[in-house]
């Protein structure tokens, strides 16, 4: 179904950030692949696209976005999707991902991934839109579990049941964010291992790792820290259960020097190598 690159994504990659272009291109960084934040390259020209062209000519890349708003009850934004498709044709990612979330209501965007109520209504709505988007883009998408800080009273199923159903209805793949599941599990009191064991093995095509921030009464997903020890532990259990799924280190706030990300990716690679 994929019409994009056949480049192999394997091992522990790093999220591409503009502060690291020079480190990557000058030093020919030994990183197996990079993940590109789609919306950062939606401009018509200029330096970002110029650097991206260079990175993607040396490394396999994936596209990861926050803008599809698949769970929203607003109409699908086909100008957004057309721009995404154009970018995908240009840089040929191995795949495209977005989130199990919504980001707009009444055409007002919040630029934050808001959780859905896990109801039959939301499932059917999300699945129908995901099918439309997959059809439009001509490829299967990876859907990522979000971090969340609230839960709804009215639900028909758990988040993992929702994801299972979604895979059945739409044939999509899953991007399993180990940090997010730890954060949400802590915030809502569910067991991340139960979530992990409910995932359809073989459908999880990518894993995300990042650092959360601890507040008094909850964990917050800042992508601004090293991966915390309990998340490493859960990651190890994830790889033992799912096999050596390609893994990405994400860092978005207080972005550190590139070497620190390489170091972090090295730790993930070590887990992948030990268990493979």
Cβ 272 to another protein shortest distance, Å: 32
Please, which residue, 80 or 232, has the CB nearer to another protein? 80
Task: Show the binding pattern over residues 243-262: x = contacts another protein (CB under 8 A), - = does not.
Answer: --------------------
**What is the torsion angle, in degrees rounded to the nearest 10, for the CA atoms of residue 110, residue 226, residue 84 and residue 39?**
50
153 scored as a contact of another protein (CB under 8 A): yes
68 scored as a contact of another protein (CB under 8 A): yes
Determine the Cα–Cα distance for residues 242 and 110; give it in Å rounded to an integer: 34
Angle between helices 47-58 and 78-91 (to 10 degrees): 50
103 scored as a contact of another protein (CB under 8 A): yes
Residue 61: strand pairing partners: 34
136 scored as a contact of another protein (CB under 8 A): no
- Which of 187, 238, 247, 269 is the binder for another protein (CB under 8 A)? 187
* Contact in structure between 203 and 242 (CB atoms under 8 Å): no
- Which of 80, 136, 225, 232 is the binder for another protein (CB under 8 A)? 80
Cβ neighbors of 276 (< 8 A, separation 6 or more) are 243, 244
Residue 122: strand pairing partners: none
Residues that bind another protein (CB under 8 A): 39-40, 42-48, 50, 66-69, 72-73, 77, 80, 102-112, 114, 116-117, 119, 121-122, 125, 149-154, 187-189, 216-218, 220
């Amino acid at each position: 179904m994929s019409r994009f690159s056949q480049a192999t994504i394997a091992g522990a990659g790093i999220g591409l950030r503009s502060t690291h272009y020079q480190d990557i291109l000058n030093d020919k960084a030994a990183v197996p692949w990079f993940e590109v934040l789609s919306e950062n390259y939606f401009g018509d020209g200029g330096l970002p696209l110029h650097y991206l062209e260079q990175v993607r000519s040396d490394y396999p890349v994936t596209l990861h976005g926050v803008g599809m708003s698949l769970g929203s009850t607003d109409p699908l934004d086909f100008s957004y999707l057309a721009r995404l498709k154009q970018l995908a044709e240009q840089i040929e990612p191995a795949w495209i991902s977005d989130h199990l979330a919504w980001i707009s209501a009444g055409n007002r965007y919040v630029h934050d991934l808001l959780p859905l109520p896990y109801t039959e209504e939301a499932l059917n709505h999300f699945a129908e839109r995901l099918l439309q988007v997959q059809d439009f883009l001509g490829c299967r998408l990876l859907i990522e579990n979000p971090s969340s800080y609230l839960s709804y009273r009215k639900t028909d199923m758990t988040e993992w049941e929702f994801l299972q159903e979604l895979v059945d209805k739409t044939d999509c793949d899953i991007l399993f964010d180990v940090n997010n599941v730890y954060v949400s599990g802590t915030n809502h009191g569910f067991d991340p291992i139960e979530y992990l064991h409910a995932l359809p093995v073989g459908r999880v095509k990518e894993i995300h790792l990042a650092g959360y921030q601890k507040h008094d009464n909850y964990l917050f997903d800042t992508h601004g820290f090293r991966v915390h020890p309990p998340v490493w532990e859960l990651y190890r259990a994830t790889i033992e259960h799912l096999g050596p799924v390609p893994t990405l280190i994400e860092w978005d706030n207080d972005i550190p020097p590139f070497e620190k990300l390489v170091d972090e990716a090295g730790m993930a690679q070590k887990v992948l190598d030990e268990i493979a």
